[in-house]
Amino acid sequence: MTDRLIIFDTTLRDGEQSPGAAMTKAEKIRIAKALERLKVDVIEAGFPIASPGDFEAVQAVARTIKDSTVCGLSRTGDADIDRAYEALKDAPSYRIHTFIATSPIHMQKKLKMEPDEVFEAAVRAVKRARNYTDNVEFSCEDSSRSEFEFLSRIVEAVIAAGATTINLPDTVGYAVPEQYGDFIRRIMSNVPNSDKAVFSVHCHNDLGLAVGNSLAAVMNGARQVECTINGLGERAGNASLEEIVMAVRTRKDYFPCETRIETTEIMNCSRLVSTITGFPVQPNKAIVGANAFAHESGIHQDGVLKHRETYEIMRAQDVGLNSNRIVLGKLSGRNALRTRLKELGIEFQSEQDMNETFKRFKDLADRKTEIYDEDLQALVSDSATEIANEHIRLVSLRVRTETGETPRATLVLSIGGDERTAEADGDGPVDAAYRAIEQIMDSGVQLQLYSVNAITTGTDSQGEVTVRLERAGRIVNGQGADTDIIVASVKAYLNALNKILFPVHREHPQTA
Ligand code: KIV
Ligand code: ZN
């Protein structure tokens, strides 16, 4: 008998906790729709009490998604649980996910609570959540460093209080596969009512073992895995969804379960998350890296050409590579664009938004002959970015470069509607443009990362630039795309500057 393995995606919550990966409501909706097409069972949309913006984003996802359960995170306090319910209640299917830390170090140093107080808070939270829904998940934060008997006692009590999913996270990525698998098996057999709940795992990747640990848990009875697209997440990230799903699928001879994931949507989700968050995917990343299905060595190529299975254990098209690469161009009309965007899960709230995107599409098509799906994703992201950029916007840019001469940039910015001009020299054209921006803004930010990626192949490809800025300990990412990489660089810098200069206060779920 093959069991169902529940795929719980937390890209929009734990993934978003990566420094600089914060997403807007519109971005969260786009990713949620892509996750729905991927057929994930549960989408953790955020932490509703974190800020009014987070609440609205979870609510918008709850009102949009029909085919996956939408989940909201809450600590054990009444206000957290009530807020999660308010954000989720319009979803056809929703789950409240409440958690508290159970390890001695977290209880003593972070929560400053006695184990009995933690026990009571957990039971009380689950009961409160059960007043709103019969789909309640309880997580014992830092479970892999928790004391076994205490953990068993709390798990038994929250199941008795109505928790239907028990999640045992390896919060700090400390576990190793054999030991963690054994731990899951022992807890499940030690807790008398464990058959009344689905056991779940949530592994962080600090030692590079998140996927290995999750799969070891699956072999020992866990039937839900919490994971993220591209392995995004706090610090070194979470278990990568695509790796878990493809491991279980490719080795169905070994794993006693299957998922309902539509694997051909994997690449689309991966690209979308990377574009929106500005976290590039490393080329040798399993499943979704640019090299994952490329064969460099002559011997491998020869083998693959003779018989694919000599070196390939999965088919590229099964993860959505090379499929449906419909190319649009200069002559494509509004309908072709609208149809392709719809297939990519992008729909517009108003005709005005569609008109604006069509204008931008035509402008791009004038500069670039073939427009691929990746270009469209960037085009739409860029429009969303432009909206976020409203306060500081690029009006015009002129850059002069010549061999042997110092590059010079002249730019005009609109700041809340007032136009300001600056001119600066730099080590290169991007440096000159950034210096000109700072002449006007004097923002005090530190540039921590600057990276350019070609969105597609060819020298006419759009460059997608990601910058990471830091100010007073706060980190944000900014993105920009354009066929002119200097313009893309300026857009990315302004995108990040807008976020860092006009911050929104958000509560972090895992601080005390
Ligand atoms: O890593 C963790 O323990 C978490 C919990 C909030 C589930 O993200
Ligand atoms: Zn986590």
Distance of CA 28 to CAs 144, 358, 384, 504, Å?
Answer: 30, 22, 12, 16
Q: Which of 2, 3, 64 is nearest to 28 (CA)?
A: 64
**Can you give the pLDDT at residue 387?**
59
Residue 386 tokens, joined: 């432009």
**Can you give the pLDDT at residue 109?**
97
Ligand 1 pocket: which of 9, 12, 141 to mutate (most atoms within 8 A of CB): 141
**Can you give the pLDDT at residue 324?**
47
Smallest-distance ligand from the CA of 140: 1
Ligand 1 pocket: which of 75, 144, 151, 202 to mutate (most atoms within 8 A of CB): 202
7 — phi, psi (to 5°)? Answer: -100, 115
Ligand 1 centre distance from Cα of residue 388 (Å): 29
Which residue stretches of the chain have pLDDT < 70? 1, 295-301, 304, 322-326, 382-389, 512
Q: Do strands 69-74 and 224-227 pair parallel, antiparallel, or not at all (unpaired)?
A: unpaired
* Ligand 1: residue whose CA is nearest its atom 2: 171
Residue 147 tokens, joined: 């004391």
DSSP per-residue codes, 84-142: HHHHHTTSSSEEEEEEEE-SHHIIIIII---HHHHHHHHHHHHHHHHTT-S-EEEEEET
Amino acid (1-letter code) at residue 269: C
Ligand 2 centre distance from Cα of residue 438 (Å): 37
Tokens 């070891």 locate to: 216
How much is the CA Rg of the chain, to the nearest whole Å?
24
321 — phi, psi (to 5°)? Answer: -85, 140
Ligand 1 centre distance from Cα of residue 476 (Å): 22
Ligand 1 centre distance from Cα of residue 16 (Å): 13
Q: What is the CATH number of domain 389-501?
A: 3.30.160.270
- Domain segments of the chain as ranges: 3-277, 389-501
What is the spatial distance between Cα 163 and Cα 166, in angstroms, rounded to a whole number? 7
Q: Which of 207, 126, 220 is nearest to 170 (CA)?
A: 207
Q: Are 40 and 7 in contact (CB under 8 A)?
A: yes
Ligand 2 centre distance from Cα of residue 199 (Å): 16
Q: For the segment 276-323, what is each residue's pLDDT rounded down to a tens digit? A: 888 889 989 999 998 898 766 666 667 767 777 787 899 999 999 864
Smallest-distance ligand from the CA of 511: 1
**Can you give the pLDDT at residue 168?**
98
Q: Which of 51, 48, 60, 54 is nearest to 84 (CA)?
A: 48
| 231: helix, strand or coil | helix
User: Which residues have C-beta atoms less than 6 Å from ligand 1?
Assistant: 14, 99, 139, 141, 169, 171, 202, 204, 509-510
Ligand 1 centre distance from Cα of residue 153 (Å): 20
Ligand 1 atom closest to Cα of residue 226 = 7
Residue 7 tokens, joined: 């795929």
Q: For the segment 432-464, what is each residue's pLDDT rounded down to a tens digit? A: 999 999 999 999 999 999 999 888 878 888 898
**Can you give the pLDDT at residue 295?**
66
- Supply the DSSP symbol for 277: H
Ligand 1 atom closest to Cα of residue 142 = 3
| 264: helix, strand or coil | helix
Rounded to 5°, angle at Cα 354 from 353 and 359: 100
* Ligand 1: residue whose CA is nearest its atom 8: 14
Distance of CA 166 to CAs 5, 140, 169, 198, 226, Å?
Answer: 14, 8, 10, 6, 12
pTM (2 decimals)?
0.88
Q: Are 51 and 83 in contact (CB under 8 A)?
A: no
Q: Which fold, 3-277?
A: TIM Barrel (3.20.20)
What is the spatial distance between Cα 198 and Cα 167, in angstroms, rounded to a whole number? 8
Smallest-distance ligand from the CA of 139: 1
**Can you give the pLDDT at residue 299?**
66
**Can you give the pLDDT at residue 326?**
63
* Ligand 1: residue whose CA is nearest its atom 5: 141
